[in-house]
Structure 1
Amino acid sequence: MNFSESLDKLVSLVTGDLADLRQLLVALLIGTVILVFFIYLSRWIKKIVRIRLAKRTEDSLLADFIAAGIRFIVLIFGITLVLRFLGLTGAVSGILAGAGITAFIIGFALKDIGENFLAGILLAFKRPFKIGDLVEIQGISGNVRALNLRDTQIKTLDGKDVFLPNASIIKSPLINFTIDGYLSYGFKLGLGYGCDYGKAMALITETLNRVPGVLSGQKGPLALVSEMGDSSLLIRVSYWVNTYDREHADHLVRSAAVLAVLEALEEAGYPLPGRIIELKGALPGDENQSQT
């Protein structure tokens, strides 16, 4: 083989490799375009499905979950299509079939994902809570913000976002404080002995009825005797609020209720004694002072 033939062979090899590389780059570019298309398509479909479901059902939690599930299916279809276009489906299947340890690890990881996904489906259709409900799960209290495919987002009362796995919610006791939209609050106060207790309790309920956000009627405020304290008669005050009333936040209503009752009782001249402790005998240090 002379120099000219060797050079021609080298050029043909390089040209063939460049052609293969060009073909691979074109395939990767087309695959990327297809994947990006399906990403945007899944988002658009999720938005349309959520809007359509929101018109047919009042449960926004269920609508969001179904829309997210459909978006996930569209994404999986798009990824599968890209792999088939690149001719990688056989290679991926061969790798997973040949690597037993890898398959075991992936299967173990997907077990938790599948468990949380199925738990999310149960939560979406069983509906133990809705968006905005005040719940307590595993000692965590807050408002439900979203039900995702894997977890549920809780906004705590101090502003933290907590993401609880759906499977743990299914397995744990759940307290829903606002499933019917109503929540009861209360506090205790002491009335000094000897005052007109009936008029004082009537004044308390009348005052609470004027506080914005406090419900009236069948769920109106109550003032009942709780017990007899050492220096005062303890009164248990309770009232209801509508948690769906976005105009009056619960914590602001609670603060306004306590302040309004205290100011009304003080203006009416009712004594609100603190806890009085009577000490008998000499106080520590008195004997030393008397000897000096």
Structure 2
Amino acid sequence: MIRTIVVLPVLLLLFAISAFFADAAVDGRGMADVAASEAEPVTAPVEIDGEVLFRVRGASSFPAGQRAQAIKNRIEATAADTSIRSDMLRSVESDNITTLFAGNRLLMNITDSDALLEHLNRSYLAKVHLTRIRQAINDYRYMRSRDVLLQGCLYALAATVLLLLGIFLLLRVGRQLTEFLDRRVKSRIRSLEIQSFKVVRAEQIWLAIQGMLYAIRLVVILAAFFAYLDFVLALFPWTRGLANRLLDLITGPLTQMGKAFLDAIPNLLILVILYYFFRFVLRLLRLFFDALSKERVTLAGFDPDWAPSTYKIIRFALVTFALIVAYPYIPGSGSAAFKGISIFLGVVFSLGSTSLVSNIIAGYMLTYRRAFKIGDRVKIGDVTGDVTLTRLQVTHLRTLKNEEVSIPNSQILNGNVVNYSSLAHTQGLILHTTVGIGYETPWRQVEAMLLMAADRTPGLLKAPPPFILQKELGDFAVFYELNVYTDNPLEMTRLYTELHRQVLDVFNEFGVQIMTPAYRSDTLEPKVVPREQWYAPPAKIPPET
């Protein structure tokens, strides 16, 4: 912790320096690009069979690319016409232009601007271009001669045979090497273990060795195939340009990637500093809320159970803010592809996360409502069970039949929750059961028997004492409700069962029938209790009576 506090000012200083150099680099690149665009004119190469003869500039009405293509077409047409010898090339000077001819056929015009581009005078540039065009015409005709083409075909065939033979030998040697390692090395490979925990299994190490050998063979084959293509394509004039650009096809993207990485270093440094800064803030917040949850730090009106959820909310807000701050410095964040993917993900999330967001919000609201906690016995809807796990989206209950039930938090928030455990350990949970007894049985006797059954039931609290409520004077019976206290709501089912057993035993012991409250006719004798039977056992006469 102390080390982090010491390092934080250094990180802030590096952040300021990185921002300064990033802005300076952007300004420098912008000024350099403007200066380059003003100083260097646009040029295009004149290329024959993959060889660049020279570069030419253009004008707004005749761009450099079109001019270079026109010159190329004229040179190739001249080279294809065997009636024009290479020594028939000549230049004609005029006041502002030098014209190159092949016999009477126009090849190109050289202006003072072309000479200025090469930092030469116009007449000397015309001689250099004329020599270069003459050599290109001779090479053009030579490379298309029958002997050279036949020789190229033979060389290409030989190279193909050598490539296939080399690949065959490489695969065979690789297979033999794998078999040798399988016999001599595989049995000696042991798992990498830390005490009794296997970090890397022996099978995984062997698979890694096989993968490395396969990758080496693949790299060698690709390198051989690249050399084969470069050699064969250079044999024929039509593909020589592709052979010259073959290496650029591989090194070009790598060079661009390296340049982009170097340009992104200031932004990457800022991202690293932002990461460690927000990580430091999150670590401080976590220490604070851990202290709140363990009650080492107290806040008035703040329940310790709220600490984990509050920390998650603040962490989410802080991470979101960090992403907003870091977004401009992410490489490629300004590209159209990056923006398109961001918009697509946002649309998908907004369309598919309605219930997800509602359940997450409900999960946090349940935490602050303190409706229940893990271990409580609750009734949610028609499901009764013990809370085993609370998540952002769902709450898990284990029912009395040992079933796992997952209830969405939004459903819990919109419904009623009965918590049997919240007051059980302080005021006690009241368990109650109802019996119907005929009018001919003294109510004092019934209440005394019910209290005796409660006293005989193990696991119930003696204080507060049980009590009786006469719920209803029905048509056929009086309904008595026995209420008892317990501090163990998880034993509700067992306690109810034991209480009912004791009620049945006590009523059978004193010969009192728990009647079925439905019959067709009544007896002739009225169902009343004589005064002398009001305190039938186990009822006791109060001292004041």
Same fold (TM over 0.5): yes
Which has the bigger relative contact order, CA under 8 A and spacing at least 6? 1
What residue in structure 2 maps to residue 62 of structure 1?
306
Q: Distance in 1 between matches of 2:320 and 2:251?
A: 37
TM-score (norm 2): 0.38
TM-score (norm 1): 0.63
Cα drift, residue 188 of structure 1: 1.9
1:266 counterpart (502, 508, 511):
508
Q: Distance in 1 between matches of 2:307 and 2:412?
A: 19
2:404 counterpart (160, 173, 177):
160
Describe the shift of the 1:14–1:177 C-alpha distance in structure 2 as closer, same or farther (beyond 3 A): same
* 3-state SS of paired residue (2:294): helix
Within-5 A mapping of 1:180-191: 180-181=423-424, 182-191=428-437
Moved more, 88-97 or 155-164: 88-97
What residue in structure 1 maps to residue 479 of structure 2?
234
Cα drift, residue 253 of structure 1: 0.9
> For the Cα contact (< 8 Å) 2:450–2:503, is it kept in 1?
yes
> For the Cα contact (< 8 Å) 2:431–2:484, is it kept in 1?
yes
1:199 counterpart (445, 449, 459):
445
The letter of the residue matching 2:250 is V
Show CA shifts across 1:147-188 (max 9, x none): 43334444444423223234x444444444443234322222
What residue in structure 2 maps to residue 29 of structure 1?
none
Would you say 1:208 and 2:454 are equivalent positions? yes
Describe the shift of the 1:55–1:138 C-alpha distance in structure 2 as closer, same or farther (beyond 3 A): same
Q: Distance in 1 between matches of 2:257 and 2:419?
A: 60
> For the Cα contact (< 8 Å) 1:223–1:237, is it kept in 2?
yes
Instruction: Count residues with an aligned counterpart.
Output: 260
Show CA shifts across 1:190-232 (max 9, x none): 33554454234223213213323322323x2223334455665
Would you say 1:257 and 2:499 are equivalent positions? yes
1:179 counterpart (422, 426, 432):
422
Alpha carbon RMSD of aligned pairs, Å? 4.7
Cα drift, residue 258 of structure 1: 0.8
Q: Distance in 1 between matches of 2:388 and 2:449?
A: 39
Moved more, 265-274 or 70-79: 70-79
Q: Distance in 1 between matches of 2:463 and 2:343?
A: 71
Describe the shift of the 1:197–1:115 C-alpha distance in structure 2 as closer, same or farther (beyond 3 A): closer
Describe the shift of the 1:98–1:68 C-alpha distance in structure 2 as closer, same or farther (beyond 3 A): closer
Cα drift, residue 113 of structure 1: 4.3
Unaligned runs of 5+ in 2: 1-49, 52-233, 235-239, 260-271, 273-278, 523-545
Q: Distance in 2 between matches of 1:227 and 1:122?
A: 41
Unaligned runs of 5+ in 1: 24-33, 35-40, 281-292
What residue in structure 2 maps to residue 11 of structure 1?
247
Within-5 A mapping of 1:45-60: 52-56=291-295
Describe the shift of the 1:98–1:209 C-alpha distance in structure 2 as closer, same or farther (beyond 3 A): closer
Describe the shift of the 1:171–1:163 C-alpha distance in structure 2 as closer, same or farther (beyond 3 A): closer
Describe the shift of the 1:172–1:190 C-alpha distance in structure 2 as closer, same or farther (beyond 3 A): closer
Percent identity, aligned pairs only? Answer: 21
> For the Cα contact (< 8 Å) 1:214–1:239, is it kept in 2?
yes
Describe the shift of the 1:276–1:199 C-alpha distance in structure 2 as closer, same or farther (beyond 3 A): same
Q: Distance in 1 between matches of 2:287 and 2:419?
A: 30
